[in-house]
Amino acid sequence: MKLESAFRLGLLPSVLVARFAAARLRGRDGVVDDDTIRELMAVTLLTAELPGPPPMRPRDHTGAIAWARDISQRAMAATAASTEQTAALLLGLAVGDLIHSVELHALVHELRAAGAEALDEHDRSLTAAEDTARKVFALAAQNPSLPPAVKPVLFRLIAVVRTLDHQAPRAAVLRHVRELLGPLSDALTPPAASDRTS
């Protein structure tokens, strides 16, 4: 399995669970937009590299959690023989969890501002998840199994996540994290044979 595929198998299910969770918090559980449908299709294509039948697409938040867990378990099993693939998968999981946390944290703040005070526990949980992501990125930056080109992108990602400590608007942090997904995927993609010989 390509490192980029392993990374995306970790990343996309978490991002999609966040979308289903946001729809649920807004009272629209199971309602999906075009971006969600496109990413569900991308995950379906990626799961073709995993053993077994493709997982059924989730219909709601609860189904999305089970769906993501199934994909993660199958991807872990499929990458177990390769430290590089496992590292890329775990990095994808961490970035996906960060996006999940930041997106939902922004929504929790929005809903709290609208008077939904029962969201304090979600707020604490999401803050803890963001802290965990920061620690995972620091460890990943030291992991020799990942290509060297990943390290500078991780340092940029760590810097972006640190801005959460300074109460940066979560929408801005999320935008910066999403901007780093392309460079991170590129860093996980080995150069073509013609690039290596020149």
What are the boundaries of each domain within the chain? 3-197
Q: Over the stretch 94-108, which tens digit does the pLDDT of each residue have?
A: 888 888 888 877 777
Return the pLDDT at 86: 92
Q: Over the stretch 36-93, which tens digit does the pLDDT of each residue have?
A: 888 888 888 899 988 888 888 888 888 999 999 999 999 999 999 999 999 999 999 8
Buried b (16+ CB within 10 A) or exposed e, 57-77: ebeebebbeebbebbbebbbe
Is the pLDDT reported for residue 110 higher than 70? yes
Return the pLDDT at 198: 47
Name the burial class of residue 153, with classes exposed (0-12), middle (13-18) and buried (19+) by CB atoms within 10 angstroms of its CB.
buried
pTM of the model: 0.73
Mean pLDDT of 182-188: 88
Q: Over the stretch 7-29, which tens digit does the pLDDT of each residue have?
A: 999 988 988 888 888 888 777 77
Return the pLDDT at 120: 64
More confident residue, 113 or 33: 33
Q: Over the stretch 111-153, which tens digit does the pLDDT of each residue have?
A: 776 665 556 666 677 777 777 888 888 888 888 888 889 889 8
Return the pLDDT at 161: 80
